[in-house]
Structure formats: structure tokens, C-alpha cells
Amino acid sequence: MNNIMDYINWRGDIGFDQDSINEVDNLILSMVSYLNFDMLRGGQTIEEANRAYIEKKKRGTNREARDFIQKIEKLTDELAKTNRYRSVIISDYMYKYDHDKESQFSAMTFHLGDVIYVAFRGTDESLIGYKEDFNMCFSAPVMAQKDSVVYLKNIMDKYSDAKVYVGGHSKGGNLAVYSVVGLDESYRDRVVEIYNNDGPGFTEEILETSAYKATVKKVKKLLPNGSVVGILMDDNEKYSIVEAKGNNGLVQHDGFNWEVKGTRFVRTNKFTDQSIRINQTLKIWLKNLDRDERNRFIDEFYILIKKSTDANRLDDIAGKELQSALAIIKNISSMDDNSKEVMTSAIKKLVKSNSEARKKVGVRKQIKKKLKKITANRKIL
């Protein structure tokens, strides 16, 4: 199976002046946006930025070491060697972290000749970043969504003659869409295309706005066939299902596992049964929880994780998974009655939702089998 690394080897000798940005380039740039380029001043080429990143890492000031980040570091190192990417300029790097406002936000802008690609980062290692993701289930807009609008507007003012593409992976895909939703119409009209790479949807109040309805026409959403993250909540975005490697949606969420052929991702016409069941389960569950219940459950769950692990980042828990799990079990039993009721009520509804979803998926399968039999019998006759 060919992936984005194979694409770089195949397409790396052809510059963007000969072949403009495509959906595979979009994912590659979205991946690069996960790296911390806070050492950059002004605009620097990918080749220069990669060199500076490596030097910073040698000095021990870069903390990221998870497998996903290591793959992106290797990706960026390869990009720096190609004609297509080495001269692409990275500018306007921004990173914001606000514990009190429960927000994590990062963005950067890539310059490809007369085109700019504004990339919004997905969730990083911070627990606050994950808390903000969960907050999207009941609150709109969250702080990162507001920040995305401000960032994009400033970029469009700064580079007023550029053709504008916007994108991101995971939460970054959601931010890419919302950044355009929040613009005035005159700015929105300048955006050529928006890429949402397996990013979640939105709450009802955003979906119902005229700004979202105008924006959604520009969105290209890409989902792996086992998607879990990209099917969360609702949206009206036209999507393509991509063939991906991996036995579950979390593995397939990693863009390195998406299959590439030429300048496109390989398409399939259906999601996996697991993805369909998870989608149904979460839709039923969220429907059965009102906004206040969602809010309280997420707050209590976050407090439980913090109390049990004393972690600020996921890598604070790495290597301590068993110890953390035992602490969580212990702290659940010592919760006050109100907190315990919030947790158990939501979990019971989740279990019930999963049961209902399994029945729905089972009924669909039976109907499909019967239709196939009927079609086969007609052919015989």
C-alpha cells in the first residue's frame, strides 16, 4: 500500500508551479503543522525550518517523542530534500495554551507561490486540548474555534493577493471549517477550498447558521473507512471515504495509514461495520444526554483523570497506564454521591446506546442480505 511517504518520493521532483496543490499535499501540510516551530522568526523555507527544528531537538528543548510525532519529523526531513517542498515557506506560526479557558490552539501558513495553505493543528499531547475537544459536544464556539477565525482573518489581510486554501487534521479539520464560518462574506468568498481531514462535526446551532451553509459548499472532507473521530457529531459536508490500513478507527485516524494513488487517496464506497456501529452508538448517546448532562459528565471525567494521574500531558501517563487505571478505579469509588450519579448515569446511557446501535446495524445487515437474495432470484428467473 502506498502512503504519503511514497507520494513524496514519486512527486517530489515536480514543483507547485508545475502542479498545484492537491488533496494529498493538503494532508502532508496538515501533518507538518503538528510540529512545534516556535523557533522560527518571520518566514522560512521547509528546508530551513527542518534544519532549525533538528538543531532545537539536539539541544533537548523539543519534548515531543511519541511515534506519531516521530513519523512527522521523518516526513518533514524528506520534504526538505524535494524540489516540490523544500522552498515552500512556513510563516506566522502561532501556539496558544490557556488552562483557565481550557484551550489549545496552533496554526501556521504555508506559501506555495501565489497560493497559501493555512493549516490548523489537531489536538496535541496536552490534556486541556482533549478537554476542549469534548467541550465541543455542548459548547459552541469553543476558544480554539474563535482563535481560528481571528488567525485566518489576519492572514488574509496580510496576504491579500494570495489564493487561500485552509485545512487541518482531526480537531484541526474542524477548526479549518469554523475559521471560514466565522468570516464576513467578503473574506469567505476569497477562500478557494477547505480540507477537513477526519475532523469532527459541529453542534446544532452552528449547523443551522447561514454562514455554515455558505461555507460547507467549499469543504472537502476526507474520512478513512474505519473513521471514529471524523464521524463525531454532525455536519453537512460532502465527504469521500478513503481506504486505510488498520483494524480500528484510531489507527486509521493516522494519516500515514491512508492509501494514495497518484495525486489522490484511494476511494471506497462504504465504512467498516465497526465505524457504523460506533457512529450510531455515539449519535444515540449524545441525543439521550442534554447539554447540561454532557457538560457535567465531561467535567467530572476530566477531574477524575487529573486527580488520578496528576498529568498535564498524555506522555505524563506513558509507562504508568496500569498505575493510572488503578487510581481511577479507586477515585471513582470515593466520589461524592452527586458526582458518582453523573458518571454512572452517562455510562449506563452509553451502554444502552451501544445495544440499540448493534440492533440497528444488525437489522440493516439482514435487509441487505434479503435484497441480495431477491436480486439474485430475479436474475435466475
pLDDT in tens, 299-323: 787 777 777 887 777 666 767 777 8
Say how far apart CA 30 and CA 107 lie, in whole Å.
10
Query: Residue 173: what pLDDT?
Result: 97
**Ordered DSSP codes for 157-222:** HHTTTSEEEEEEETHHHHHHHHHHHTS-HHHHTTEEEEEEES---B-HHHHTSHHHHHHGGGEEEE
Q: How far apart are CA 230 and CA 173, in angstroms?
A: 9
Residue 290 exposed, middle or buried by CB count within 10 Å (0-12, 13-18, 19+) = exposed
Residues pairing with 117 in the sheet: 110, 165
Q: How confident is the model at residue 365 (pLDDT cuts 50, 70, 90)?
A: low
175 compared with 369, residue with greater pLDDT: 175
DSSP at 266:
P
pLDDT in tens, 25-37: 999 999 999 999 9
pLDDT at 360 over 70: no
Check residues 364 and 196 and name the one with the higher pLDDT: 196
pLDDT tens digits for range 249-290: 889 999 999 999 999 999 999 999 889 888 888 788 878 888
The yes-or-no verdict on residue 379 having pLDDT over 80 is no
pLDDT value for 376: 54
DSSP labels, 60-101: T-----SHHHHHHHHHHHHHTTSTTTTTPEEEEEEEEEETTT
pLDDT digits (tens, 9 = 90+) for 35-61: 999 999 889 999 999 999 999 988 875
Tens of pLDDT, residues 84-120: 999 999 999 999 988 787 789 999 999 999 999 999 9
Per-residue model confidence (pLDDT) at position 133:
77
Residue 344 in grid coordinates: 454512572
Q: What amino acid occupies position 87?
A: S
- Residues 91 and 107: their CA atoms lie apart, in Å, by 10
Looking at the predicted structure, is the pLDDT value of residue 380 above 80? no
Q: Indicate the burial class of 354 (C-beta count within 10 angstroms; 0-12, 13-18, 19 or more).
A: middle
Query: Which residues lie below 8 Å from residue 132, measured CB to CB, with a gap of 6+?
Result: 102, 103, 104, 123, 142, 143, 144, 171
| CB-count exposure of residue 379 (10 Å: 0-12, 13-18, 19+) | exposed
Does residue 156 or residue 138 have the better pLDDT? 156
- In tens, the pLDDT along 344-357 reads 787 787 777 777 77
| Distance from C-alpha of 14 to C-alpha of 26, rounded to nearest angstrom | 16
C-alpha cell at 64: 515531543
Q: What is the pLDDT of residue 61?
A: 54
Q: Say whether 312 sits in a helix, a strand or coil.
A: coil
Q: State pLDDT tens for residues 216-232.
A: 999 999 999 999 888 88
pLDDT digits (tens, 9 = 90+) for 141-190: 999 999 999 999 999 999 999 999 999 999 999 999 999 999 999 999 99
In angstroms, the CA 89 to CA 358 distance is 49
Average pLDDT, the chain: 87
